[in-house]
Structure formats: C-alpha cells, structure tokens
Structure 1
Amino acid sequence: MGSASREALSVSRAALAALGGKATLATGEQLLAAGRVLGTSFQLRAALADPSGDPSDKLSVINAVFASVEQPARELLGVIATNAWSTEDEFLAGIEEIGIRALAESASSENIEAELFAFGAAVGSDAQLELAVGSKLGSDESKAALIERLLGSKASKQTVAIVSHLVQQPRGRRIAELLRFATTVVADEAGLAVATVTTASAISPAQLTRLVSALSVSYGRGLRINHVIDPTLVGGVRVQLGDEIIDGSVASRLNELRLQLA
C-alpha cells in the first residue's frame, strides 16, 4: 500500500473510532455495498479516488449517489473519499477495511474470527465449494445467495455480510487470501492478532492456554488462536502469525535433516 493510502486509511480508522461505538451492522453492510457499487462504476470510482479532486465535489457526489445510506456510513464514505489514495484499488480496499471494522465493532459476543476460519477450512477441504465461491462466472447475486445458504443459520450476520462481500468483490484475490485478510482486520479491531497453531494431534485446553500465554508475551499483544490438527506434522508445533511462521514440527526437522544429508 502506498504512503498516501496508508495515511488515508489511518484517518479513516480514526473517523470510525470517533463514532464512539455507534457503528451498527447496517453501517458495515452499507459501506461494503457502496464499495461494490464503486467497484462496478469506473466513472464514479475515478471521480472519488482522484487525489486532485475537490473534496466538496466528492461529498456532493456521495450525498447524491448514496442518499439512502444512513448517516454514519455516509459520513465515513465522505472521510474515505476526501482523503488521497495512491490508487483506485487501494481506495476500494480502504472502504472494504473500514466496512469490515464497522461490522466487527457492531458485534457483541460473536467470535467472527472463528467463524471466518471455520468457513475457510470448509472451503479449503472442498474443491467444488472453493470453485463455486471463487468462480468468475457466477453472478454476484448467485454468490450472495450461496453464502446465505451456507452460513445464514450457522454464523453471525456480521460474518455472513463479510463473506458475502468478499466473494462478490474479490479484486483478484483467492478465497483463502480474502478470508485471512478479513480475519486479521476483525482481530485487529479488537486489539488482537490471529495465530494459527497446528499440531499433529489434539492437545489439552491447559496446554493450549499455556501456548497462547507464551505467544502473547512474545508478540506483545493478545491473540486469537485457531487450532488445526495435521497428523503429517508427526509431532511438535507449527505457529503462523501473519506472514511469520515458527515451525517446530518433527516433519520440518526431518525434512531439514534430509536436505543436509542430500
């Protein structure tokens, strides 16, 4: 992300925080819907993402095009649009992130990260499902309907809204990448990070608690843990936090040994 976009995103996050917890499910849904509208309209997107554009003109466009959008979402769109973004795609990414953060903020007790992770695991284990949600051939309406059938009765409204948006506007990203991004944003909004812990077999809740505590101290922030069991590891633990991987599995050590002997 360019420096201008990073600054614009920081200002946009501050604007969301300034709402003081007034962001609702509708706020997030409307922001994501606006992002999809802009994603399909080159003229609108170019006008609002143009860094040289007059801020008052941009606000006029937003108030005209998104007149039916509730005030909190429209105000956030105004902040996002009147800041300078490095590219049009990063402008859309900014709307997407603020929309996801608003949805995360609107949730009370729902563990959106766990629901996103579970859906990602289901998609990753089913090639036909992955094709269905990631295909470029299906219409946005059919993809949204599919997500509603798959998650409507099993996940929070926030999670359904996030996944539905992601499959409708992937912007060149695969479904696994989309879900990892959304999970990271949701956790960050709560002041946390997400770590995926993979072991060869099940571990006790006490062991998992000790591992979480040690990792939290190491990384200096609270963690949400997604636990995966993978017998191919043979033993040990593999931890992934963002792009960082700590691989202490037996399989990894055996592979290193084989490479040394070769």
Structure 2
Amino acid sequence: MNGASREALASARERLDALTDNTSVDAAKLAEELAAVTALLDREVSLRRVLTDPAQAGEGKAELAARLLGSQVGGETVDLVSGMVRSRWSRSRDLVDATEELASIADLVAAQRAGALDDVEDELFRFSRIVSSSTELRSALTDRVATDTAKAGLLARLLGGRANPVTERLVVRLVAHPRGRSLESGLTALSKLAADRRNRMVAIVTTAVPLSDGQKRRLGAALAKLYGRQVHLNLDVDPAVLGGVLVRIGDEVIDGTIADRLEEATRRMAG
C-alpha cells in the first residue's frame, strides 16, 4: 500500500488495538465477522468503489456501511468498518486488503489471549515448509477447479487436532480466498503479522543439525542485541549447509555456513 492507504490502514490497526485491549470483546468472533466483510467487499466491486470514492463525504460512506452491515455483524465490526470507510484510500482494492488484515490480526489477538501465539507462529512456519516441499499438496490447495469445501476438508485432515484452531482458521481463509497471492507469500504475510503482535522480528535459521536449547537462546540473544528488538527464530534443518548457521531476516542474509565458506574459497582459487 502507498500514501493515503498506508495511513488509513495504520489508523484502522490502532482502532482495532484499542478495541481488543478490552478483553470482553470476543476477538475470534470479530475476526470471523471481518473475514465475512472482506469476502463481501471482494465480491461486490461496485460497493467497495462507492465506499472508497474520495468525492463522497466520509460520514455518508460510514452511514451506508452501517446500514448494510448492521443486521449482519456486531457493533464492534460495524464501528471498525465505518471508521475505515471514513478514511481516504489510494485504491478501492486496498480497503479489502486492510479488512482482511484486520481479520487476521483479530484472530492472532485471540491466540495471544490464550497464550498460544508462539504455537501459531511456529505452526504457520512449519506448514509453509510442508507446502514448499510438497508439490502435490501445493497443487491440491491451489487447484482452481477444486471447491473451497474440498480444500477445507483436506486442511481439516492435515491440521485438525494437530494445530491450534487459530492456525487452522487462518490457513483455511488463505486457501479459500487467495486473492491473487501465492500460498507461500500469504503464509509469509501471516507469519509477519504474528511476529508484529509482539513487536518481534522473524528470523529463518537454517542449520545442518537441530540446535540445542542453549544454542537457540544464545543465537536469539545475539540477534536481539544486533537488531535492538526481540527476534523469533523459525528453525529449519538442511544438511546441505554442512555446518554453521544461515540466518534470513526479511531481505537480509547472514551466512555463516561451511558451504558458503567453501564456495568463497573456490571462487578465490578460480580467480
């Protein structure tokens, strides 16, 4: 998102945070209702264009949203969406993206309240690794011919009873409504949202063998000192790195593997 949309999303997230600070608000229900609004806006192109039309008064758009949604969702959801349509958006599509993001954040709030946010982060990462390593599974989950019911059934068999209910809801929504994204990029975005709930960075750490608990603590502390904030470690094992540690944080790569040093030595000898 750019410009006005980025500012509108920031304001919407602040309103969501203020709302969910009240523990009497059912965050899971809020997530479900925001997801339903996302589906409506994604489907009804003319509606979202009206709700993001800069020529229309913000209060008039908020009243329209309240009339349309008032009998379908709860008051908290109506208030959130009304506030969003009062804002200015660079593109009508950005309103849909923002509503979807708020739905995901609300579900993560539910996980956080239950003390399960770390589990959800780890499960999203592990599932993304499973998808990237299985062409057959990825094809089944992204098959445009397969129904949403069939995909949800497959996910229920894969995740049901094995993953946190929040993880399952997030993945099911992503698979059912990819909205032009690849499955991998959608899972990465969800992992980042989960990390942001604790103001943490996410590091993908690849080693030849699993790290011990002590090694994890020392690596986490070193990265936290380097970046000035807590860093959540998503751990992956790949014998190809031979030894050492490969760390990816966003676009930045810290490569301390033997394989990298061997490659560098080979380049020097060739030169």
TM-score, with length taken from structure 1: 0.93
Percent identity among equivalent residues?
34
Matches within 5 A, 1:1-262: 1-19=1-19, 20-21=21-22, 22-66=25-69, 67-107=71-111, 108-110=114-116, 111-260=119-268, 261=270
What is the CA distance between 1:23 and its match in structure 2?
4.9
Distance 1:143 1:65 in 2: 30
Change (3 A) 1:231 1:138: same
In 2, are the aligned partners of 1:23 and 1:102 still within 8 Å (CA)?
A: no
Q: Which moved more, 1:135-144 or 1:228-237?
A: 135-144
Distance 1:191 1:132 in 2: 34
Change (3 A) 1:17 1:255: same
What is the CA distance between 1:146 and its match in structure 2?
2.8
What is the CA distance between 1:212 and its match in structure 2?
0.4
Moved over 4 A (4+): none
Q: Which whole-Å deviations, capped at 9, do the CAs of 1:132-163 have from their partners, x for residues lacking one?
A: 11222323333333323322322222112211
Change (3 A) 1:98 1:205: same
Q: Secondary structure at the match of 1:103?
A: helix
What is the CA distance between 1:64 and its match in structure 2?
3.0
1:10 corresponds to which letter in structure 2? A
Q: Which moved more, 1:210-219 or 1:117-126?
A: 117-126
Gaps of 5+ in 2: none
Q: Secondary structure at the match of 1:248?
A: strand
Q: Secondary structure at the match of 1:137?
A: coil
2:236 corresponds to which letter in structure 1? V
Q: Give the alignment's Cα RMSD to 1 decimal.
A: 1.7
Distance 1:152 1:254 in 2: 44
Q: Which moved more, 1:205-214 or 1:32-41?
A: 32-41
Gaps of 5+ in 1: none
In 2, are the aligned partners of 1:233 and 1:251 still within 8 Å (CA)?
A: yes
Q: Secondary structure at the match of 2:180?
A: coil
Change (3 A) 1:140 1:84: farther
In 2, are the aligned partners of 1:51 and 1:83 still within 8 Å (CA)?
A: no
Change (3 A) 1:53 1:112: farther
Q: How many residues align?
A: 262
Distance 1:75 1:258 in 2: 62
